[in-house]
């Protein structure tokens, strides 16, 4: 367990009691415990724990164990007592439904040697919850307002099961519903602020540099000297690769918020000249990771440009990414998926001689399509893709994974050939990511 | 722990030793243990455990706990000894890389009080692995061929870290690499067959009915009497809902494989008349869940029909689903995404008067597009979609989530209006699933 000191300050805004203690930790250790059979039979993925781990790491709390067990009294009691041995805080999700198979609340009482009492504020919340949905509260639902005697109640604005905060032997246990949006609202609005208020945690600053078109190992070589220098400043660097994209996350922790932020931002500036052509954006502390389709969308909106697409091997995936962004109709005109040569000719005027001389997977073909798109869709910019997604269709000259991409911005056309690999889904994904970034670079006049 | 009996039969085909023991269990209990900091910091989702839990449940092994810990010697030893107390088999993933932070193999030795020895067969595998990639083996990679003395080696065809099977106090521990496709290959090809060979497990038969276009609660009402009757036959029923689709899984376990199978298949036949129009397929025991795009693809191939699409609100997503299937070029001709009315008019001949009288989100508009598609793309069947994906663009008459879908099969056109909801991504997904199923029904002449 972390190094704990008691300080005689603070208060608690939770229903129930006021707390007058603040703890300071060198490192505060957390365990995440999910209760319910759905995870054990592989019916659902434990995404609650991923989200909780991220949120806790962001405020400087270290997650040391994630445990999933079933709705089983003995297993729950054992997990509680094991967790108490190693963690300063245990965040529990699940097992709080009104049906008989959910037993977390009863076992919570048993572990804390207490009993359930009706909490009138929660009863009002539950009654209100059903009234808003034009339903009356059944007796079984009223039971949701019973909480362990002595617990601090965390109210649930999105459901009927309240959160419960209790302590034993210096370890905090918080029991929450397993429904993701109920749990997340409690954590964001009540539990994280309460942890930050009650415990003195180190301040952590993260900044993530988003790169495209360069592999993890090549990237590591280029920034090697810069990376060595980070250690001396106590900045840690993580490479977070996903198909087509490598994210570089810089993290530092300490007490002086402004100094930390300046130190990290300064190192982001230092790495810029080394890898500028690969960087398509930044992920800010605590905010969502910007996607290329959003970044390109914002750019098109800002520059008042209209986009059109021709997708052969990507089969509409780029169009799907673009239109998954709300408001994309302001800059997106449309797409043609010409899945055979005759439609490339008929709808996008690709000359038959191009197919005969170069084939459909060629510079000539994608450039012709990119140019024609501008007039068909009255667009300012366009993307055209043609390739062999696989698993069949490859030749010695053009193996599976060969993809030609052209991007056009009025008269300017840039095209490039790529050989991605032999996985169909990955080839489609890589082509889309690469094409979007090529368009971004063309608009911003960045080296391709 | 389960009720264990030793029977003097069986053998082991693993590298190393032969095993001469079979255990029988009432219920065999498994624990899944993942080792590595990536999961604890929320960097990756624990999908290995979801897959393992599914595979173990399929062969009648009960998963009682899933635990994730970091690359920490003390935590690993504690987790091993805790797991030994409650489980008959412990499947461990992660921490087998050649770098210094990966310590699972060393701690494995410590727990089993043994030491690492070079295994020549693994060394050949590792050398071979690098030779195939035109690389020589470094000393650090040669260390991958060292395994705990006395362990049964499970060879890795897709990577360099071998699997290791050891036993202590009646509990089996299997350590595997964390890379999903390396781990999955070992489990499917070696570990599951070995468990089935060494332990007498109950036979389990699952059959899943795939439905589309009906909610979980309405479905449950319709099949209520049938469901009540399942219990008396010891068949359990699970509702597995996902957007647009509800899967109904029937499961039974026992000793007589043929009798079990007949019992379950018979009940699948019994439910058919009640919900036939919603059923689009079946998921067979141990096989992958068939997707609508695959089912529609096979149907088009079989009937020698060519497909074309016009996607407004779905923005290319249906085209993406269709083309994600390898070989789809045999039945797919292409798609137009006309993201503004003028392109619906220009590319698909939708009459201006239709926009004026009914708007683009209308029966007249989608029917006109579906019909025109057949001639533009020389197709036999088509899908046209127009709707308000949201979050903005709704009106009192046509709220966000309003979608018109038309499907055409030569002269036959069927169109329907749907109001899905207020989430953009969900509306796009629901529209696509619904449209694919409407086309399937039209081709097969099933009531819409």
Q: Are residues A10 and A105 in the same domain?
A: yes
Q: Are residues A82 and A220 in the same domain?
A: no
Q: Are residues A338 and A219 in the same domain?
A: no
Torsion over CA: A123, A124, A125, A131 (sign): positive
Tokens 């808003």 map to which residue?
A132
Least Cα distance to B122 among B177, B198, B69, B184 occurs for B177
Distance from CA of B82 to the nearest CA of A (A): 9
Q: Are residues A302 and A154 in the same domain?
A: no
Are the beta carbons of A316 and B323 separated by less than 8 Å? Answer: yes
- Indicate whether A288 belongs to any domain: no
A242: which strand partners? A245
Encode pLDDT of B403-433 as tens digits. Answer: 999 999 999 999 999 999 888 999 999 999 9
Are the beta carbons of A333 and B339 separated by less than 8 Å? Answer: yes
Size of interface A-B (CB pairs under 8 A): 209
For residue B207 the two structure tokens come to: 């059959």
Q: Are residues B425 and B353 in the same domain?
A: yes
Least Cα distance to A268 among A254, A253, A281, A286 occurs for A281
- Indicate whether B288 belongs to any domain: no
- Indicate whether B152 belongs to any domain: yes
Least Cα distance to A305 among A407, A405, A378 occurs for A378
A67: closest chain B residue by CA: B67
Coil, strand, or helix at residue A333?
strand
The per-residue pLDDT for A6 is 36
Query: CATH code at A242?
Result: 3.30.70.2860
Residues contacting B310, CB < 8 A, separation 6+: B335, B336, B337, B338, B344, B348, B366, B369, B370, B372, B373, B382, B383, B384, B385
CB atoms within 10 A of CB A373: 27
The per-residue pLDDT for B18 is 39
The per-residue pLDDT for B441 is 97
For residue B224 the two structure tokens come to: 């209520």
- Indicate whether A114 belongs to any domain: yes
Tally the domains of chain A: 3
Residue A298 near residue A289, CB atoms below 8 Å: no
| Cα separation, A99 vs A22, whole angstroms | 37
Residue B344 near residue B312, CB atoms below 8 Å: yes
Query: CATH code at A421?
Result: 3.90.950.20
Q: What are phi and psi of B76, to 5 degrees?
A: -65, -45
The per-residue pLDDT for B434 is 97
Encode pLDDT of B286-319 as tens digits. Answer: 677 899 999 999 999 999 999 999 999 999 999 9
Encode pLDDT of B160-216 as tens digits. Answer: 899 999 999 899 999 999 988 899 999 999 999 999 888 888 888 889 999 999 988
Are the beta carbons of A319 and B315 separated by less than 8 Å? Answer: yes
Which one-letter DSSP state was computed for residue B15?
B
Cβ burial, residue B406 (10 Å; 0-12/13-18/19+):
buried
For residue A367 the two structure tokens come to: 């450039």
**Which residues on A lie below 8 Å from B55 (Cβ)?**
42
Last residue of a domain, one of A149, A184, A200: A200
What is the pairing mode between strands B163-168 and B307-311? unpaired
**Which residues on B lie below 8 Å from A340 (Cβ)?**
329, 333-334
Residue B14 scores a pLDDT above 50: no
The ipTM estimated for the assembled molecules is 0.81
In order, the DSSP letters of B343-374 are HHHHHH---HHHHHHH-SSSHHHHHHHHHHHH
Q: Are residues B69 and B120 in the same domain?
A: yes
- Indicate whether A163 belongs to any domain: yes
Residue range B379-391: mean pLDDT, rounded: 97
What is the pairing mode between strands A22-24 and A199-200? parallel
Q: What are phi and psi of B215, to 5 degrees?
A: -75, 160
- Indicate whether B289 belongs to any domain: no
For residue A113 the two structure tokens come to: 């040697």
**Which residues on A lie below 8 Å from B238 (Cβ)?**
43
**Which residues on B lie below 8 Å from A307 (Cβ)?**
none
Least Cα distance to A176 among A94, A295, A67, A59 occurs for A94
- Indicate whether A17 belongs to any domain: yes
Last residue of a domain, one of A283, A307, A336: A283
Tell me which residue in B57, B66, B320 faces A315 most closely, judged by beta carbons.
Answer: B320
Least Cα distance to A76 among A43, A51, A40 occurs for A40
Q: Choose, out of A68, A316, A344, the residue to mutate when testing the contact with B (most B CBs < 10 Å).
A: A316
Residue B251's H or E segment, with its range, is strand B245-254
B76: closest chain A residue by CA: A65
Tell me which residue in B39, B320, B332 faces A339 most closely, judged by beta carbons.
Answer: B332
- Indicate whether B42 belongs to any domain: yes
For residue B437 the two structure tokens come to: 């199923």
Q: Are residues B148 and B60 in the same domain?
A: yes
Distance from CA of A314 to the nearest CA of B (A): 7
The per-residue pLDDT for B25 is 54
Q: Are residues A37 and A172 in the same domain?
A: yes
Residue ranges in chain A modelled with pLDDT below 70: 1-26, 286
| Cα separation, B123 vs B439, whole angstroms | 54
Residue B31 near residue B67, CB atoms below 8 Å: yes
Q: Are residues A182 and A207 in the same domain?
A: no
Last residue of a domain, one of A152, A168, A200: A200
The per-residue pLDDT for A433 is 97
Which residues form the domain of B14? 5-200
Residue A148 near residue A166, CB atoms below 8 Å: yes
| Cα separation, B94 vs B33, whole angstroms | 9
Residues contacting B61, CB < 8 A, separation 6+: B28, B29, B30, B89, B195, B201
Least Cα distance to A57 among A192, A179, A244 occurs for A192
For residue A100 the two structure tokens come to: 């008989």
Encode pLDDT of B331-381 as tens digits. Answer: 999 999 999 999 999 999 999 999 999 999 999 999 999 999 999 999 999
**Which residues on B lie below 8 Å from A391 (Cβ)?**
326
The per-residue pLDDT for B4 is 39
Q: Are residues A195 and A213 in the same domain?
A: no
| Cα separation, B428 vs B400, whole angstroms | 12
Q: Are residues A118 and A131 in the same domain?
A: yes
Residue range B124-138: mean pLDDT, rounded: 84
Encode pLDDT of B15-68 as tens digits. Answer: 434 343 445 556 799 999 999 888 898 878 889 999 999 899 888 899 999 999
The per-residue pLDDT for A159 is 86
Give the model's confidence band at B321: pLDDT under 50 very low, under 70 low, under 90 confident, else very high: very high
For residue A2 the two structure tokens come to: 């972390």
The per-residue pLDDT for B391 is 92
Query: Residue A60, by phi and psi: left (phi above 0), alpha (psi -120 to 50) or beta?
Result: left
Query: CATH code at A21?
Result: 3.40.980.10
**Which residues on A lie below 8 Å from B338 (Cβ)?**
334
Are the beta carbons of B53 and A70 separated by less than 8 Å? Answer: no
Distance from CA of A408 to the nearest CA of B (A): 19
Q: What are phi and psi of A343, to 5 degrees?
A: -85, -25
Q: Are residues B162 and B236 in the same domain?
A: no
**Which residues on A lie below 8 Å from B392 (Cβ)?**
326-327
Residue B328 scores a pLDDT above 90: yes
């Amino acid at each position: 367990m972390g190094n704990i000191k008691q300080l005689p300050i603070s208060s608690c805004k939770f229903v129930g009691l006021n707390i007058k203690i603040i703890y300071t930790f060198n490192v505060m250790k957390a365990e995440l415990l999910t209760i319910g059979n759905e995870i054990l039979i592989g019916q659902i993925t434990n995404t609650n724990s991923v989200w909780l781990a991220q949120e806790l790491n962001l405020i400087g709390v270290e997650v040391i164990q994630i445990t999933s067990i079933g709705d089983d009294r003995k297993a729950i009691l054992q997990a509680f007592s094991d967790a108490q041995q190693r963690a300063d805080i245990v965040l529990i999700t699940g097992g709080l439904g009104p049906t008989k198979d959910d037993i977390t609340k009863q076992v919570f009482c048993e572990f804390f040697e207490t009993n359930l009492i009706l909490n009138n504020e929660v009863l009002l919340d539950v009654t209100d919850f059903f009234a808003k949905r034009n339903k009356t509260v059944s007796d079984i639902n009223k039971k949701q307002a019973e909480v362990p005697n002595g617990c601090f109640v965390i109210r649930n604005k999105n459901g009927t099961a309240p959160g419960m905060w209790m302590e034993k032997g210096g370890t905090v246990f918080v029991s929450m519903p397993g429904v993701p949006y109920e749990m997340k609202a409690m954590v964001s609005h009540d539990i994280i602020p309460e942890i930050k208020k009650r415990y003195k945690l180190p301040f952590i600053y993260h900044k993530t540099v988003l790169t495209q078109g360069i592999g993890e190992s090549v990237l590591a070589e280029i920034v090697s000297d810069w990376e060595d220098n980070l250690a001396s400043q106590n900045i840690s660097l993580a490479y977070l690769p996903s198909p087509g994209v490598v994210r570089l996350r810089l993290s530092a922790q300490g007490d002086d918020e402004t100094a930390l932020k300046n130190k990290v931002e300064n190192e982001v500036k230092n790495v810029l000249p080394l890898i500028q052509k690969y960087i398509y954006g930044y992920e800010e502390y605590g905010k969502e990771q910007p996607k290329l389709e959003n970044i390109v969308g914002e750019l098109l909106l800002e520059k008042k440009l209209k986009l059109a697409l021709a997708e052969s091997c990507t089969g509409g995936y780029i169009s799907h990414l673009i239109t998954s962004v709300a408001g994309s109709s302001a800059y997106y005109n449309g797409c043609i998926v010409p899945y055979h040569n005759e439609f490339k000719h008929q709808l996008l005027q690709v000359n038959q001689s191009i197919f005969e001389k170069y084939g459909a997977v060629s510079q000539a073909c994608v450039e012709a399509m990119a140019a024609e798109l501008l007039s068909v869709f009255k667009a300012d910019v366009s993307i055209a893709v043609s390739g062999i997604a696989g698993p069949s269709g490859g030749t010695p000259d053009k193996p599976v994974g060969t993809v030609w991409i052209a991007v056009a911005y009025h008269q300017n056309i840039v095209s490039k050939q790529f050989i991605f690999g032999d996985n169909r889904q990955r080839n489609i994904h890589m082509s889309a990511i690469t094409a979007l970034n090529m368009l971004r670079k063309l608009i911003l006049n960045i080296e391709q």
